[in-house]
Amino acid sequence: MKENYHLTTRQYARIVKKWIASIGLDITSYGTHSMRRTKATLIYKKTKNLRAVQILLGHTKLESTVRYLGIEVDDALELSETIDI
C-alpha cells in the first residue's frame, strides 16, 4: 500500500531554494512567497478576474486579495462586479 507523503512548508522552501541555486539564480531574490505573489499578479493582469485570484489564493475576503495584489480597491471592486461566477 502506498503511503501519502506530505511536505512541510519548511521542506518545500528548502527544495525551492536548492532548485533556484541549481539553475544559477540568486537565492535571496526568490522564494516560495515571492513566486506565489508573482503567479497571482500575472493571473490578475492577464484576466482581470479578481474573484479567480481570490479563490486560487484561498482568501476569504476580496479586500485581502486586493491588498495582496497592491491594486486600487475601487478599481478592483468595480472589475469584480462585472465578472459573473
How do residues 15-63 score in pLDDT, each as one tens digit?
999 999 999 999 998 888 888 888 999 999 899 888 999 999 999 998 8
Question: Sign of the C-alpha dihedral, residues 51, 57, 61, 66?
Answer: negative
Total domains in the chain come to: 2
Q: Can you give the residue range of the structural domain that contains 36? A: 31-85
Same domain, 49 and 70: yes
Pair 40, 80 in one domain: yes
Gap between the Cα atoms of 11 and 34, Å rounded: 17
Query: Do both 25 and 61 map to the same domain?
Result: no
Give CA–CA dist 85/35, Å, rounded. 26
Q: What is the pTM of this model?
A: 0.64
Q: Which of 63, 73, 69 is nearest to 40 (CA)?
A: 69
